[in-house]
Structure 1
Amino acid sequence: MQSSRLGWILLAPTLIVLFFFGVLPFLYVLYVSFHQWNPFAADPAMIFNGAENYRRLVFDAAFLASIGVTVAFVFFAVLTEVIIGYFLAQAFMTDFPGKAIFRTIHTLPLIMAPIIVGSIWKLMTTPSIGIIPNLLSNWFGLELNIGHSAIAAFVITIVMDVWHWTPLVTLTLIAALVSLPPDPFEQAQIDGANKRQIFWHITLPMIAPALVATVFIRLMDAMRIVDEVLMLTGGGPGSATRYIGVHIFKEVFPRTNYGYGSAISVIVLYLTIVVCWLLYTGMLAPRNTKKG
């Protein structure tokens, strides 16, 4: 009983911070989502409109389009980061010349603020001065202008996100790989298993919890990407990179539609929780059932 009380005392500071900076803001956003509110209007009072904001979402073509491009962005970005991050983690498990220097350079993007990342990629992709358009033109005869090509803008935002966040995936998977016991791998090699069999039947099941946690973190971050995209493309051209975070930003700030923007935020949170639950059910639940 005393140890239980001590545990709650030690957790109390974290729970208090979580309540004031997590729970209360969410409840306030939920409250605002049931109102029509423009705090900069002549009459800044909140007007209760029930579920009108949520009903409007169903028929909002811009919102539905932003959901579609966001899902595509999250899928390709997170999948690419996990694949590249795993191979880099495996590479860092071995010794090679310049390993320490390469790992330091590889980790540098993590310490950059998102707005700086967007600025760097904006400079690198500007047709007149950017290194990427110049290299593509000189080496392959290709013209890159993310202000004109929707596909190019979409791909570049994915590449930017992969460049920014792959180091996080690499570091988490390195920690998972280092913690694996050597006995199952030695036994598998003695039994004649090849690398593919070892990966599918030993490595992947053993790092599955760390892998799922990494995917959850990246999925939630990718769902709410705003800063980098606003700096790089502004959500354009057209709505090619108007991801859901960018859509919320443009509804809340330029249009000062706080009630509708809050409703979108609540729905996005709900969708994120559902997707994470589906991933957990699909990746870890069968594993836990086999253990049981």
Structure 2
Amino acid sequence: MQSKKLGWLLLSPTLFILGLFGIFPFIYVLWVSFHEWNPFAANPEKLFNWAANYRKLVFDAQFLASLGVTLAFVFFAVVSEVVIGYILAQAFMKDFPGKAFFRTIHTLPLIMAPIIVGSIWKLMTTPSIGIIPHLLKNFGIDLNIGQSAIAAFCITVIMDIWHWTPLVTLSLIAALVSLPADPFEQAQIDGANKRQIFWHITLPMIRPALIATVFIRLMDAMRTVDEVLMLTGGGPGSATRYVGVHIYKEVFPKTNYGYGSAISVIVLYLTIVICWLLYTSLIAPRNKRG
């Protein structure tokens, strides 16, 4: 009994911080989502409007379009980061000249704030001074993300891959380092090739770490705001108006706090559903077989 009290006592600071910065803000946003509230209007009072904000977003073409491009962005970014991150993790598991230097350079984007990342890519993609349009001109490609919706979308995906692939790499390196050597040695003795070893030994053993990494990146990608807002501002048109950017523009320029809160709650719900679907399709069947 005494040990349980001590355990709760030691957990109490963490629970307090979680409640203050996690649970309380969520409850407040949920409450605001059932109101019409513009704090800068002539009448700054919150007006309870039941589920009017949620009914509105179901028929909001701009929100639905932003949700569509967000899901496309998340798919291409997260899948690319996982594939590239695994390849780099395998490469960094081997010894080669300059390994420590390359690992350091590879990790540098992680320490940069998203707004800085957006600023760097803004400079690199500006047609008049950017190095990327200059290099692409040598191949006859005229890159202008302010005019081409496809180019703007692709550049935001590449920027996200550049920024967050190091996180995936570090997570998978940790998973690969912890794997026992015996199953791999036995598979090689039995004559298994690299593809068979990957599908039947490596992938099942790193699956929990891989899924956890995908969850982290999926949740981060769903709420991308800073770097995209800095790079494209959500344009051209609505090509890169991801839900995070859409919420920002609803809450700050339009000061529509109630509707913005409703969108935030729905996006959180969709993120949880997507993660749950991934879990049930990839982890739960394996647990049942075990």
Q: TM class, shorter-chain normalised?
A: over 0.9
1:1-292 to 2 correspondences below 5 Å: 1-138=1-138, 140-291=139-290
CA distance in 2, matches of 1:239, 1:137: 26
CA distance in 2, matches of 1:181, 1:5: 38
Superposed CA offset, 1:265-290 (max 9, x none):
00000000000000111111111111
CA distance in 2, matches of 1:180, 1:51: 50
Q: Give the secondary structure class of the aligned counterpart of 2:124.
A: helix
CA distance in 1, matches of 2:173, 2:9: 34
Q: Which runs of 5+ in 2 are unaligned?
A: none
Question: Aligned AA for 1:58?
Answer: V
CA distance in 2, matches of 1:120, 1:20: 34
CA distance in 2, matches of 1:125, 1:111: 21
CA distance in 2, matches of 1:250, 1:241: 13
Question: Aligned AA for 1:211?
Answer: L
CA distance in 2, matches of 1:214, 1:2: 37
CA distance in 2, matches of 1:2, 1:211: 38
Superposed CA offset, 1:194-225 (max 9, x none):
00000000000000000000000000000000
Superposed CA offset, 1:146-176 (max 9, x none):
0000000000000000000000000000000
Superposed CA offset, 1:236-272 (max 9, x none):
0000000000000000000000000000000000000
CA distance in 2, matches of 1:175, 1:129: 40
CA distance in 2, matches of 1:66, 1:175: 35
TM-score, reference length from structure 2: 0.99
CA distance in 2, matches of 1:115, 1:79: 23
Question: Aligned AA for 1:176?
Answer: A
Q: How many residue pairs get matched?
A: 290
CA distance in 1, matches of 2:7, 2:198: 39
Question: Aligned AA for 2:17?
Answer: V
Q: Give the secondary structure class of the aligned counterpart of 1:238.
A: coil
- Of 8-17 and 219-228, deviating more is 8-17
Instruction: Give the CA RMSD over aligned residues.
Output: 0.5
Question: Aligned AA for 1:118?
Answer: G
CA distance in 1, matches of 2:275, 2:9: 30
Question: Aligned AA for 1:10?
Answer: L
Question: Aligned AA for 2:248?
Answer: F
Q: CA deviation at 1:50?
A: 0.4
Q: Which runs of 5+ in 1 are unaligned?
A: none
CA distance in 2, matches of 1:187, 1:15: 46
Q: CA deviation at 1:6?
A: 1.8
